[in-house]
Structure 1
Amino acid sequence: MIRRFRGQTGGDMSSTDEEAFGEDNTYELGLVVLARGSPELDSLSSNEWAEAGCSRMGPWDRCPGACRYIKMVRSRAFEIAEERASHGTYAYCRHNDGYIGFRGAVVLPRTTEEVSRAVKLLSSLSIPFNVSGGRHATSGTASMGPEGAVIDLRRMRGVSVDAAAHTVTFEGGCLWSDVDDAAWEHGLATPGGTVADTGVGGLVLGGGFGWLSGRHGLTIDCLVSVEMVLADGSVVVASDDEGGDKDLFWAVRGAGASFGVATRFTSRVFPQGNVWSGALVFPFERAAEVVGAVNEHLEVEEGDQAVMLAPGYGPPGPDGARAKAVAMYVFHNGTAAEGARYFAALLALGPVLNATAEMPYRLVNRQLDHLVTPGARWQHGVAHMTGPVDAAAFVAAASKFYAYVDCELASSGGAQDLRNTVLGFEIFPWAKACSVPATATAHSNRGRYYNVGLVMNWTDASRDAEVRRFKKELADLISETMYHPKASRESGSNIAKSSQYLYGNYLDQPISAEGAFGDNAVRLRELKARYDPENRFDKLWRLADRK
């Protein structure tokens, strides 16, 4: 018999859920079992629930502690059907339709103690689990099949600012908008994600960079401490301060997702005023001129400016057609007048759209939100390039992208399934990041090279393999024609010599530890054996053999 169960989005149990479990069918694992109301549930005997790993508790209204906040549907005693989830249910993955599915368990803690209890419980039952923060990633590492669990931190979004100490403390389920907004109330800011709904945990633990990195370095370079639940359920504060775990602090700054559940971060924040930023849009035919102006920018950049080149499509015209265009997002950490003077060469090219403006810093990270809206199917890829930007190679890469999308457009009878794909050539100053030695943190990829994010967006599930194949081809082309290792070395790179120059937060496929961390992989493996000997936190890079 196939029984279909669906987890809910949040809050207390719905009436339907409560009706499905009477007093005799409510069980405790320190968790609450939730499901869609079905007469079949009532037919499950206590023995069947016990076989699923549950032990009897009391009525819902006397459910203590974590039971209200942790949801679980076990699959040992019954089969969970692969049914597509709808909006409004937990099984609808908020960001990426490519990883929609049912989980054996969904854990929704409110406190570090509840996270610890969940980790201990899941480990004791040998249930594999992943951790979900902002649910923004496309790699699937925050997803889990029906045989496992997801510890979802969405209810842990507290933020506090100590303006006198210039620090901000935020919980692991926060989004960057939570941190930006809280710090801005005090005229403060710290380097964070360039999209507001990026989760803090994934970005911080993988290194992190943003519009302020030219002035303050990577996100991890501003960290003061990280509270983490380890694989055995113990709670440790990682920091360089007296009493802090210094070895773990080294590891979590770049490889943190491999060591535990980060429940709280403390970071330095800095005085921050308004900034000048926005989009300049040019016809694709002028791409070479735009790249030339970007190269002029690279010759004089001071650390307070950044640009992002994004070849794509403009809005639909009267006939529904979308013309090829190059959007250029510019940033100057200062006034509008200063920004206009600094980017005068670009403005002189006469963009068809100028959406730049002076704005509060907390708004700058919301500019790209429309490019990565929830839903559809997403997958991230990463390539790298060095400066000066090769205009011919840039045009060739963009042309390959356009040819693929236009071919898809013709074969689908006009459907525009891939036209929301984003190619982001992220030209952020790296001098500040390069001032930190490669061995100072686990994140060793510090050099004067630039990330190219390939954010593939489509809706037709039958095309998954094809789109992923093309994404790899395009990433390989960009890295082969636009990345020059000699230029990176001569500019003062601190990149470990064995590194493959890949930014961990953009990875979507497994990679070797050396590929992700270079020479730091040796120390990381030693620390992994100490802190997570059973390899509960097994990520895209392999630091230990899978148990």
Structure 2
Amino acid sequence: MREARQIGEFANQLRGHLIQPEDPAYESARRIYNGMIDKRPALIARCADVADVMRAIRFARDNDVTLALRSGGHNGAGLSLCDDGLVVDLSSQKGIRVDPQARTVRVEPGCTWGDVDHATHAFGLATVSGIISTTGVAGLTLGGGHGYLSRQYGLTIDNLLEADVALADGSLVRASAEEHPDLFWALRGGGGNFGVVTSFLLRLHPVAMVQAGPAFWSMDDAEVILKWYREFMPRAPRELYGFFAFLEVPPSPLFPSGLHGRRVCSVLWCYSGPPERADEVLAQVRGVHDPLFEHIDTVPYPLLQGLFDQFYPPGLQWYWKGDFVNEIPDEAVDKHGRHARGLPTPLSTMHLYPIDGVVQQVASDATAFAYRDCQWSSLIAGVAEDPADGDRVRDWARGYWQDLHPYSAGGSYVNFLEEEGEARVRSAYRGNYERLVDVKTQYDPDNLFRRNQNIPPR
């Protein structure tokens, strides 16, 4: 790293804290959501404000230090950390301001989606996010962002109105449709390649209560249910969202004790349309194929968003693989069933997230997110509590993915990539990749921001 004097000067310039390996806070500060990641940065700058972020960028640039960006810390590949370098830790920047008249929310990069949902729900509003409330706003948004409201309101990036960005040269700019439009285009799906976003302005929608809940079917019926789902979901009203999953029923009072530990196929439903149409729409999915368990009820949207938090706390061992999917032919259904019956641990799972509806109404080159023509984003997640099971869940996820990848659209949601190499990053962006290289070359010609799914400058 650098000389002690330079590090001391840097620490004195920060309003936040500079954490080093000898500090008591270091061990907790270097931990992220995925317990499989074990990296040891030389410095962790817990930035208090935008000025701290700009100083940290300049320090890394001027001293040729590897730079990593951490907000929520949910990146599966652990790219929010680095060995030996500097981590710009944004987790303490949690300012949120809701404008109920304009139906917007301004969010700082340390916020999680649980923070945002708490603030916006007071006004009966919400925006598009993922399915786990502890996920950071920054990482999910910059990768695209899909979740329960996507069929009705698009991706998270389709609801991003502007962003303040600290650039590699140490300056701060605002990116929007009117200001730095090329940078704004790239931020919407291009990840953290172009700078540090210090503020997001997001559009809100009138979502307070939703009708939501799971249906479980026997694993013996997995192929039948998946074939029904692949036909039903694309035809469903856009206000109805349901993601398909293979899972083991957790030992929770939410579910009948007789199902605890049983492997099932499932769909988690969310209806966010007019309440007077709820019964009509949900009648199409209630009681289908004699479920083992079904419970759809009216719940606050933040409660649905936080449903999985209790089952997937920080520190578990994660290895995931993803792909975009257009069609699920019978041969793919059969392979899904075979791998699902071999779930290696109680927490391992496979999800198919629908990304049609309003998502498909945006042109594939209108943002960096290129897979606007796809029906689903798939995630195969090997998850374990015990580090000794790490290899087992990794091997299962890789084998499952290799079997199903030939039926994919070719690339993955960038937030579901591990460290898989340049070809997989290119495939995530398809025809948008070369334009992203142009923007990268303009805003980060020396590739300071390279601890990500990297798009190198020319």
Q: TM-score scaled by structure 1?
A: 0.76
Counterparts of 1:349-498 in structure 2 under 5 Å? Answer: 349-387=289-327, 389-390=328-329, 393-403=332-342, 405=344, 418-428=345-355, 430-461=356-387, 464-465=390-391, 467-481=393-407, 483=408
Counterparts of 1:302-317 in structure 2 under 5 Å? Answer: 302-315=237-250
Counterparts of 1:176-325 in structure 2 under 5 Å? Answer: 176-241=113-178, 244-298=179-233, 300-315=235-250, 322-325=261-264
Contact 2:382–2:396 under 8 Å retained in 1 = no
Q: Deviations over 1:265-316 (max 9, x none)?
A: 0011122242111111121112234234424523531211111111122246
Structure 1's 51 and 121: CA in aligned 2 closer, same or farther, altered over 3 A? closer
Question: How far did 1:462 drift?
Answer: 5.3
Question: How far did 1:150 drift?
Answer: 1.0
Contact 1:127–1:149 under 8 Å retained in 2 = yes
Counterparts of 1:42-81 in structure 2 under 5 Å? Answer: 51-54=3-6, 66-67=14-15, 69-73=16-20
Structure 1's 240 and 461: CA in aligned 2 closer, same or farther, altered over 3 A? same
2:394 and 2:5 mapped to 1: Cα distance? Answer: 38
Partner secondary structure for residue 347 of structure 1: coil
Partner secondary structure for residue 269 of structure 2: strand
1:208 and 1:267 mapped to 2: Cα distance? Answer: 12
Contact 2:82–2:451 under 8 Å retained in 1 = no
Q: Deviations over 1:146-180 (max 9, x none)?
A: x1111111111111011122211000111011112
- The residue aligned with 1:174 is 111
1:323 and 1:269 mapped to 2: Cα distance? Answer: 38
2:6 and 2:230 mapped to 1: Cα distance? Answer: 62
1:460 and 1:367 mapped to 2: Cα distance? Answer: 23
Larger radius of gyration: 1
Counterparts of 1:342-353 in structure 2 under 5 Å? Answer: 342-348=281-287, 349-353=289-293
Which of 157, 162, 180 is residue 99 of structure 2 equivalent to? 162
Partner secondary structure for residue 278 of structure 1: strand
1:88 and 1:71 mapped to 2: Cα distance? Answer: 10
Structure 1's 394 and 338: CA in aligned 2 closer, same or farther, altered over 3 A? farther
Partner secondary structure for residue 97 of structure 1: coil
Structure 1's 56 and 225: CA in aligned 2 closer, same or farther, altered over 3 A? closer
Question: How far did 1:240 drift?
Answer: 1.2
Contact 1:288–1:392 under 8 Å retained in 2 = no
Partner secondary structure for residue 220 of structure 1: helix
2:234 and 2:42 mapped to 1: Cα distance? Answer: 54
Matched, 1:104 2:42: yes
Amino acid at match of 1:532: D
Structure 1: state its 5+ residue gaps: 1-48, 58-62, 75-79, 406-417, 486-499
1:64 and 1:505 mapped to 2: Cα distance? Answer: 35
Question: How far did 1:99 drift?
Answer: 0.9
Which of 76, 87, 102 is residue 138 of structure 1 equivalent to? 76
Amino acid at match of 1:433: V
Question: How far did 1:201 drift?
Answer: 0.5
2:392 and 2:227 mapped to 1: Cα distance? Answer: 34
Contact 1:383–1:476 under 8 Å retained in 2 = no
Question: How far did 1:71 drift?
Answer: 1.6
Q: Deviations over 1:178-213 (max 9, x none)?
A: 112212211211111221111011111111111111
Contact 1:278–1:367 under 8 Å retained in 2 = no
Contact 2:150–2:358 under 8 Å retained in 1 = yes
- The residue aligned with 1:329 is 268
1:323 and 1:537 mapped to 2: Cα distance? Answer: 44
Partner secondary structure for residue 217 of structure 2: strand
Moved more, 369-378 or 130-139: 369-378
Contact 2:80–2:451 under 8 Å retained in 1 = no
Partner secondary structure for residue 508 of structure 1: coil
Q: CA RMSD in A?
A: 2.9
Q: Deviations over 1:400-459 (max 9, x none)?
A: 243362xxxxxxxxxxxx22112112234x131222112211221211321111121124
Question: How far did 1:376 drift?
Answer: 2.2
Structure 1's 315 and 169: CA in aligned 2 closer, same or farther, altered over 3 A? closer
Which of 54, 65, 73 is residue 116 of structure 1 equivalent to? 54
Contact 2:445–2:457 under 8 Å retained in 1 = no
Partner secondary structure for residue 117 of structure 2: helix
2:34 and 2:371 mapped to 1: Cα distance? Answer: 27
Question: How far did 1:55 drift?
Answer: 6.2
Amino acid at match of 1:326: C
- The residue aligned with 1:45 is none
Question: How far did 1:116 drift?
Answer: 0.4
2:239 and 2:24 mapped to 1: Cα distance? Answer: 44
Amino acid at match of 1:160: R
Q: Deviations over 1:74-106 (max 9, x none)?
A: 7xxxxx8xxxx9999425624111113322011
Structure 2: state its 5+ residue gaps: none
Q: Deviations over 1:505-535 (max 9, x none)?
A: 1111234353121121112112211111110
2:333 and 2:4 mapped to 1: Cα distance? Answer: 55
Q: TM-score scaled by structure 2?
A: 0.89
Partner secondary structure for residue 36 of structure 2: helix
Question: How far did 1:391 drift?
Answer: 5.6
Moved more, 419-428 or 258-267: 419-428
Matched, 1:501 2:411: yes
Contact 2:191–2:452 under 8 Å retained in 1 = no
Count of aligned pairs between the two proteins: 450
Amino acid at match of 2:306: R
Partner secondary structure for residue 190 of structure 2: helix
Partner secondary structure for residue 122 of structure 1: helix
Contact 1:431–1:448 under 8 Å retained in 2 = no
- The residue aligned with 1:43 is none
Structure 1's 53 and 331: CA in aligned 2 closer, same or farther, altered over 3 A? same
Amino acid at match of 1:165: A
1:507 and 1:353 mapped to 2: Cα distance? Answer: 33
Contact 1:332–1:339 under 8 Å retained in 2 = yes
- The residue aligned with 2:428 is 516
1:327 and 1:443 mapped to 2: Cα distance? Answer: 28
Contact 1:237–1:245 under 8 Å retained in 2 = yes
2:261 and 2:411 mapped to 1: Cα distance? Answer: 35
Question: How far did 1:336 drift?
Answer: 7.1
Question: How far did 1:539 drift?
Answer: 4.3
Contact 1:297–1:343 under 8 Å retained in 2 = no
Question: How far did 1:479 drift?
Answer: 2.9
1:380 and 1:544 mapped to 2: Cα distance? Answer: 24
- The runs of at least 4 consecutive aligned structure 1 residues that moved more than 6 Å come to 85-88, 317-321
